[in-house]
Structure 1
Amino acid sequence: MNLQSLFQDFNPSKFIVHTCLLIFTALFALRIDNYLTWSYWCIFTPIWVWKILVILGAAVGSYVWWRYPHFRMEGEAYIHYKSMLISLALHLILLMFELLVCDKLESNRHLWILVFIPLIFISIVSIAVCIWAVKHDRSFELELFCAVNVLQFIFLALRLDGFIAWSWEVVLVPLWIVMCLSLVGVLYTIIFAGILLRTPEVNAQQRRSSFQTAVGYTFLVIPILIFQVLLANKLDDDIKMSFTAVVSPLFVSFVTLILMSFSAKGGNKWWFGMRKDFCSFVLGACPLLQEYANIAYSSERRTNGVEMQQQADKSDPRNLKKADMFKPVLPIVSIEMPD
């Protein structure tokens, strides 16, 4: 067991986001099926927690940025900090959309097209953000999702307000296109992993990495596609299922995303002013973890340090003579018996 190797590629931002979305999806489905009678403001609690952490993390990071000017000279600190501010702005606009959705579900006093205006605005702005992220080698998963689904958001708003009377299978056409492209990507990863498994020149680490990627994307995309099919049929009254059963495939995708966050790497180092990887920050901030958790355990039987060093020296041909010269000598003690 090596806790450092477990957390050295851990991405806490993705872990928090996917965990909050998993809990929110379960609560929302139970609320629609009337298994829960809570208000929607309580149902959206995981979303509020997510946004509070984003705002708090950006506030602490900004304080550290302005309080310690010499930190700005560390590598690409300016790019990281600017990326954090861009992400904060997008999350604030997304928070406005979520507040409008919650108020619409509670009071029903707005048109859905007005509720979706912040989300449509994010989708348009995300195109420019994606270009900036590619230029500066930054991740842009949320921005890419919003950018490719701008037409889908418009269709959803118009269908919910009754301005169009299309079936839900037609309304979700933009998502069908995205899912088809995703399936092509999954098929590519599976074929690529199969080729690497049959290539003797490839080392075991590359084979294992490609296999894990193929399995991860398969368990991510296929459940989402199943959920989309079930949702379209449910909304068109073609099947009789509860919404909890309809969204159940999404739980598989969210669990997959949570597991993948332990090997996602990346992440902005200015959230909460950490300025370093999450594992290094935690070990540095908690002396007890640095003392006891940052240890690799092995079940192998090892010799003591002197014997290991002697074996290493003897195994090197250049040190054969040197090893013979410094062989340990057993002391001989002469003991004279008294008469």
Structure 2
Amino acid sequence: MNLQTLFQDFNPSKFVVHTCLLVFTALFAIRLDNYVTWSFWCVFAPIWIWKVLVILGATVGSYVWWRYPHFRLDCEAYIHYKSMLISLALHLILLMFELLVCDKLESNRHLWILVFIPLIFISIVSIAVCIWAVKHDRSFELELFCAVNVLQFIFLALRLDGFISWSWEVVFVPLWIVMCLSLVGVLYTIIFAAILLRTPEVNAQQRRSSFKSALGYTFLVIPILIFQVLLANKLDGEIRLSYTAVVSPLFISFTTLILMSFSAKGGNRWWFGMRKDFCAFVLGACPLLQEYANIAYHSERRSNGVELQQQNEKSDPANVKKADLLKPVLPIISIEMPD
């Protein structure tokens, strides 16, 4: 076990987001099944925690940015800071949507089309954000998800308000298209990993990396597709499953995303004013951890004396004669028991 190796590629932002979504999905499902009677404001608690961390992290990062001007000399720092502000703006609009959803579920005093307006606005803006992120080599997972699902959000709002009476399988057509493209990507990663495993010129690290990617994307996309099929059949009344059973495949996907966050790398260095990778920041803030981070623990079987001698004999046959000469000669004494 090597602590530094474990956390050097760790992405704390993705870990927090996916963990909060996992807990929220479980709470929302058991609330819809009436296993608990909590208010939806309590059910959305993991979402509120996520948004509070985003606002607090951006606030601290902005304070450090304006308090210490010499940190702005690096041109890369400006891109990171601007990316953080864009992400903060999108999260604030997303927070507005989540507040409207909570209020709608509690009071039912709004149309769903009004509730989805902030989300539709994010989807349109995310197209420009994705282009900017590609130009500056920044990650844009949330923005890409919103951009490709703008039509899906419109269909959901119209179907929930009753303006259209399509079956849910038809309503989810935009999402079916996205999932089909995702399956093509998963199939490509599997074929690519299989080719690398059979290519002797590729080193072991590349083979291991491609195999992990294929395994991770498989456990990410396939459960989401199963969830979508179960949800469409559940809403159309074709199956009688609880919402907890319907969303259970999502738990596999979120768990996969949480595990993949330990090798996601990247991340914005200006959240909470860290200005460095998460691993370097934690080791710098907690010097006590540096002692353990520099220690690697390995589990290996120790060989006893006989095994060491056999290994030496195999490695050097000349040692066999030397060992025979050095062996003590013990006389064999026959001891007879008296009658």
Kept in 2: contact 1:227–1:249 (CA 8 A): yes
Q: Which amino acid in the other structure matches residue 249 of structure 2?
A: P
1:176 and 2:176 matched: yes
Query: Which residue is equivalent to 2:142?
Result: 142
Query: Which residue is equivalent to 1:320?
Result: none
Q: Give the match's secondary structure for 1:76.
A: helix
Q: Give the match's secondary structure for 2:109.
A: coil
Q: What are the within-5 Å matches in structure 2 for residues 1-339 of structure 1?
A: 1-299=1-299
Q: Hey, what's the Cα distance between the residues in 2 that align with 1:69 and 1:156?
A: 47
Q: Which amino acid in the other structure matches residue 198 of structure 2?
A: R
Kept in 1: contact 2:11–2:267 (CA 8 A): yes
Could you give the per-residue CA deviations for residues 245-298 of structure 1, whole angstroms, max 9, x where no partner exists? 000000000000000000000000000000000000000000111233332233
Kept in 1: contact 2:116–2:157 (CA 8 A): yes
Tell me the CA shift for residue 301 of structure 1: 10
Q: Which amino acid in the other structure matches residue 71 of structure 1?
A: F
Kept in 1: contact 2:269–2:277 (CA 8 A): yes
Structure 1 consecutive aligned stretches of length 4 or more whose deviation exceeds 3 Å: 298-302
Kept in 1: contact 2:3–2:292 (CA 8 A): no
Kept in 2: contact 1:189–1:210 (CA 8 A): yes
Could you give the per-residue CA deviations for residues 37-96 of structure 1, whole angstroms, max 9, x where no partner exists? 000000000000000000000000000000000011135000000000000000000000
Percent identity for Structure 1 against Structure 2: 90
Q: Hey, what's the Cα distance between the residues in 1 that align with 2:301 and 2:255?
A: 37
Q: Hey, what's the Cα distance between the residues in 2 that align with 1:216 and 1:301?
A: 31
Kept in 2: contact 1:123–1:149 (CA 8 A): yes
Q: Hey, what's the Cα distance between the residues in 2 that align with 1:244 and 1:189?
A: 31
Tell me the CA shift for residue 160 of structure 1: 0.1
Q: Which amino acid in the other structure matches residue 131 of structure 1?
A: I
Could you give the per-residue CA deviations for residues 158-180 of structure 1, whole angstroms, max 9, x where no partner exists? 00000000000000000000000
Q: Hey, what's the Cα distance between the residues in 2 that align with 1:298 and 1:222?
A: 35
Kept in 2: contact 1:283–1:294 (CA 8 A): no
Q: Which amino acid in the other structure matches residue 81 of structure 2?
A: Y
Worse-matched range after superposition: 172-181 or 73-82: 73-82
Could you give the per-residue CA deviations for residues 149-198 of structure 1, whole angstroms, max 9, x where no partner exists? 00000000000000000000000000000000000000000000000000
TM-score normalised over the length of structure 2 = 0.88
Q: Hey, what's the Cα distance between the residues in 2 that align with 1:140 and 1:301?
A: 46
Q: Hey, what's the Cα distance between the residues in 1 that align with 2:33 and 2:299?
A: 51
How many residues get paired?
A: 302
Structure 2 unpaired stretches of 5+:
303-339
Tell me the CA shift for residue 299 of structure 1: 4.7
Q: Which amino acid in the other structure matches residue 47 of structure 1?
A: I
